[in-house]
Amino acid sequence: MTQTIKADLCIIGAGSGGLSVAAGAAQLGRKVVLIEKGKMGGDCLNYGCVPSKAMLAAGKRAQHMREAARFGIAGVEPAIDYKAVLDHVYRTIAEIEPNDSQERFEGLGCTVLRDPARFTGEREVTAGEHVVKAKHFVIATGSSPFVPPIEGLDSVPWLTNETIFYMPDQPAHLLIIGGGPIGVEMAQAHRRLGAEVTVIEGGKILPKDDPELVAIARAHLTSEGVRIIEGGKVARVSGSEGDITVHYRTDEGEHAVTGSHLLVATGRRANVEGLDLEKAGVEYDERGIKVNARLRTTNKRIYAAGDVAGGRQFTHVAGYHAGVLVQNILFKVPAKNKEENAPWVTYIDPELAHVGLTEAQAKDQGEKYTIARWKFEENDRAHAEHETSGMAKVVVGKGGKVLGASIIGPGAGDLIGPWALAIANGLKIKAFTNMIAPYPTMGEITKRVAGAYYTPTLFSDRTRFVVRLLSTFD
């Protein structure tokens, strides 16, 4: 028997964006219905950020054992218990899971429905035996792996980020199609855990990042034994379980590589299928749901957040979207989405982080800019840690305004934070030269790269003349 629920807010999708909106609205006393057809916590908790970082952490510990001789400690080849590694991954998920659980959100006052949702009108959604009528809706259904139409893929077993963490057998040779963040992270993790790894990328790996810093990442990956094939256009795949061949073309001709397992990491697409968005008057395209600057769809009562909104596909962007929506829907503040200020991090070792404009983007947009660089080899803490191959690169615009920053090195994901703050608040590079950084820390690099911006002026012939002139007043 159909049951009708009336609510202030109905949220479809219990990932980062949906859960954040639900928690905020419920705690502000609104009647909230939260609908999720899959696992609570969405992709990030179950298939993405959390399991991948847990696996990367295991690989990092294994690599530390191999490289311990640099610190006067006997290095050893670690014995990898892949099942125990997976147990560590699942344990990490389980430790975080209560924050995203149905029980927690019901405790906050939400009505949680565990069924697929579909719109049956402009202000109505059906989920299982329930019909939800709400003042406002938020679509936060996330994204799923995009799998291109590769010949032969229907006849061989293959993995995505949704299945690779739930595969009981350790790969002997992992083939990865795609050299984006997911591809290279899984490449390094599995290589460090003892597998052979080959990455086949149609263009260049990590194409959205600064090529100067990507070159450092590429060198690290290859030095650890990851085979990277760039400019490799995959034509087809063949074989069977445990014996899979990827056939690809390069400028030099046709090639093939054979491995035990295949991971397809060729991007993601918005989850809009099955929602019957047409019945709600919500427009969408291949990128996702069309939204305006306030994240409102073509139906003024319906908003979208996170990956499905067609922008940057990061958990922290979905969380940020939630804040924008709480302001717009609950506080009636016309807050605008400024996700271009959001940083991103690829969690290989060393980490690669970026925020704002890259040098190429600044050039394409006609910005007048200067580049400031500082290498980790100039940092004393980096020498103590034997982590000297990184670099910070900052794009500085007119008047010293910070336009963008890229960092590769240990802890780059943390080091990018101050630069994200600067860009979000329109700060100038001088703000970093004014700060006092503790010694010896990697954080000194932030101050040093800012100082590097002023170095040509500080030690110019003109400045030398001024100093000489001032010395006459002693």
* pLDDT tens, the chain, 474 aa long: 799 999 999 999 999 999 999 999 999 999 999 999 999 999 999 999 999 999 999 999 999 999 999 999 999 999 999 999 999 999 999 999 999 999 999 999 999 999 999 999 999 999 999 999 999 999 999 999 999 999 999 999 999 999 999 998 999 999 999 999 999 999 999 999 999 999 999 999 999 999 999 999 999 999 999 999 999 999 999 999 999 999 999 999 999 999 999 999 999 999 999 999 999 999 999 999 999 999 999 999 999 999 999 999 999 999 999 999 999 999 999 999 999 999 999 999 999 999 999 999 999 999 999 999 999 999 999 999 999 999 999 999 999 999 999 999 999 999 999 999 999 999 999 999 999 999 999 999 999 999 999 988 767 777 777 767 778 886
Q: Are the C-beta atoms of 294 and 333 separated by less than 8 Å?
A: no
Q: Residue 310 is encoded by which pair of tokens?
A: 């067609």
Strands, E, within 73-116: which ranges? 111-113
Nearest-angstrom CA–CA distance, 59 and 53: 10
Which among 302, 304, 266, 310 has a CA at the least distance from the CA of 286? 310
Q: At what angle do helices 16-27 and 315-325 cross, to 10 degrees?
A: 30
**Which 3-state string (H, E, C) describes 411-443?**
CHHHHCHHHHHHHHCCCECHHHHHCCCCCCCCC
Q: Six-digit token pair at 322?
A: 């939630």
Spatial distance between the Cα atoms of 437 and 442, rounded to a whole number of angstroms: 9
| Residue in this structure with the two tokens 């002139």, named with its chain if needed | 469
| Cα atoms in the 13 Å half-sphere on the side-chain side of 424 | 14
The one-letter amino acid code at 116 reads P
Tokens of 185: 């992270």
* The pLDDT value given to residue 90: 98
DSSP assignment of 290-308? ---TTSB-SSTTEEE-GGG
Binding-site sequence positions for FAD = 53, 141-143, 307
For the beta sheet containing 227-230, the strands, ordered from the edge strand earlier in sequence to the opposite edge, are 227-230, 196-201, 173-177, 261-264
Pairing of strands 3-12, 32-35: parallel
Beta bridge partners of 198: 175, 227
Report angle CA 336, 340, 345 to the nearest 5 degrees. Answer: 135
Check if the beta carbon of residue 104 is closer than 8 Å to that of residue 119: no
Helix 211-223 vs helix 181-192: crossing angle, to nearest 10: 20
pTM beyond cutoff 0.85: yes
Q: What is the pLDDT of residue 197?
A: 98
The pLDDT, as a whole number, for residue 474 is: 66
| 139 residue type, one letter | I
As a residue count, the chain comes to: 474
CA distance 325 to 335: 8
C-alpha to C-alpha distance for 405 and 413, rounded to whole angstroms? 12
- For residues 354 and 209, what is the distance between their CA atoms, to the nearest angstrom? 7
Measured CA angle at 326 (ends 126, 320), to 5 deg: 100
In the chain the domains, ranked by start, together with CATH numbers, are: 3-144+269-340 (3.50.50.60), 153-266 (3.50.50.60), 350-458 (3.30.390.30)
Numbered residues of the known binding site: 53, 141-143, 178-185, 201, 267, 307
Instruction: Please give the annotated binding residues for NAD(+), written as ranges.
Output: 178-185, 201, 267
- List, in order, residues 6 or more apart from 445 with CB less than 8 Å away: 374, 376, 379, 392, 407, 409, 415
